[in-house]
Structure 1
């Protein structure tokens, strides 16, 4: 009997631009683009058995249920994460949590179009954000390398 392991595809969405990663090197490049690429400071990442896609007219909308949303403040070295996966036992909507947050941590935008904000306690140093994105790209599950708190926004 032969077993075939499904190959994951990572979809990164920057604004309305879709980028895909099939290999570990491409995944690393995608993480770098999320953290340091221009001009977007907002990204979403999906891990699935095929590329996510969406048509211009909205008739095609193919995404898995789990998603990692990332906001970065590159100039100051901060980022925040939002993980959503409906129906999971560990909470279907959570934001990153930094127990050491103080007034020096920025309040980051969750959504630039809606003006929604992350709580200040969601702000993490970019190296922690990098680790969480990389873990999500490998596993497709909520990253365990950072702490989480209940989220407000989808």
Structure 2
């Protein structure tokens, strides 16, 4: 099964809107990731898998995947908030950011939130092709991607 993604991001040619861009295919996701990597975002884009559960009177998603990409440097970082797939049935929800033992040298600062501002840790920055692979895995599984390593975070 593949999930339909709702992606909240800024597009230069559209008015700011609370309506997400809907992504249904790998090709649509690649096109969107290329756009985001090439266009400065006022805040990191947020992705939700439509078929996952929601909660509360406003039917909020039970998860979110957030990305910050820098196409010029060919890097990005990911945060995930939701269930821990390594603890199925545990109902353990948390927040994580990517991590690596081989930090990208001279990587630009990437943000979890540009308004506050809160930056990703330096060891959360990954090559863009790795981030792309992880976001594609999220579209396929609706879960925190397993193709990258994670560290717990107190920010989401």
TM-score by length of 1: 0.76
Deviations 1:106-130 (A, max 9, x none): 4322111111011101010101000
1:82 aligns with 2:79: yes
Q: How does 1:22-33 map to 2 (within 5 A)?
A: 22-33=24-35
Contact 1:83 1:142 in 2 (8 A): yes
| Range moving further from structure 2, 17-26 or 40-49 | 17-26
Unpaired segments of 5 or more residues in structure 2?
11-15
Which of 3, 6, 9 aligns to 2:4? It is: 9
Query: What displacement does 1:78 show?
Result: 1.2
1:142 aligns with 2:144: yes
Unpaired segments of 5 or more residues in structure 1?
53-59
Q: 1:8 to 1:101 in 2, by over 3 A?
A: closer
Deviations 1:31-74 (A, max 9, x none): 333333x2427211110228x9xxxxxxx844321111001122
Task: Please tell me whether Structure 1 or Structure 2 has the larger radius of gyration of its CA atoms.
Answer: 1
Q: 1:112 to 1:33 in 2, by over 3 A?
A: same
CA distance in 2, matches of 1:131, 1:61: 31
| Range moving further from structure 2, 82-91 or 65-74 | 82-91
Contact 1:10 1:47 in 2 (8 A): yes
Which of 120, 130, 137 aligns to 1:128? It is: 130
1:56 counterpart residue number = none
Q: 1:106 to 1:31 in 2, by over 3 A?
A: closer
Residues matched between the structures, number:
140
Contact 2:76 2:126 in 1 (8 A): yes
CA distance in 2, matches of 1:79, 1:22: 22
CA distance in 1, matches of 2:82, 2:60: 12
